[in-house]
Amino acid sequence: MWIDMMYRWRTGAIAWLLHRLSGLALAAYLPVHIWVNHHIAKSPEQYDRVMSVLALPVFKALEIGLWGVILYHTLNGMRILLIDLGPGVRYQKHLFWLVVVVGVFLWVVGGYPLAVSFFEKMN
């Protein structure tokens, strides 16, 4: 059994673990998201009440995090696809760092408006 655990935590293993964790986080978020949005089918008042709760700073911060989790899982998913197709195998490490760089860039671009509204609510 212990011999199974002999692999070292290199780039590929870290990418794999992060993919699993981000996937689990998104799988946990999806049912909540579907349930919350179901309120729009009930009445405008109920929907607006739920949305005003979600406008609290804590949920804004979580949404910024969510955007990052989505980006990592999406971009690393593309990396996995390239590895599965063949040519990506040789460059899997480089591809991981590409995922990180592109991911951080898009996280900042998309996270900025969310952060602005987060700080507006804090004041």
Partner 1 sequence: METIRRFKSSGGSGAVIWFSQRITGLLLACLLVGHFVFQHFFAEDRRVGRLTYESVSATLVDPLWKTLEMLFLVCALFHGFNGLWMILSDYVHTGWIRVSLLTCLCVGGLVLFVLGTVTILPFSRPAG
Shortest distance in whole angstroms from residue 113 CB to partner 1: 6
Contacts of 68 (CB under 8 A, 6+ apart): 103, 107, 111
Q: Does 5 help bind partner 1 (rule: CB under 8 A)?
A: no
Q: Does 84 help bind partner 1 (rule: CB under 8 A)?
A: yes
Could you give the CA distance from residue 89 to residue 96 in angstroms, rounded to a whole number?
11
Residue 118 and residue 60 in contact, taking contact as beta carbons nearer than 8 Å: yes
Residue 22 and residue 72 in contact, taking contact as beta carbons nearer than 8 Å: yes
Q: Does 58 help bind partner 1 (rule: CB under 8 A)?
A: no
Q: Which residues bind partner 1 (CB under 8 A)?
A: 20, 23-24, 26-27, 30-31, 34-35, 37-38, 40-41, 43-44, 47-48, 51-52, 54-55, 63, 67, 70, 74, 77-78, 81, 84, 110, 113-114, 117, 120-121
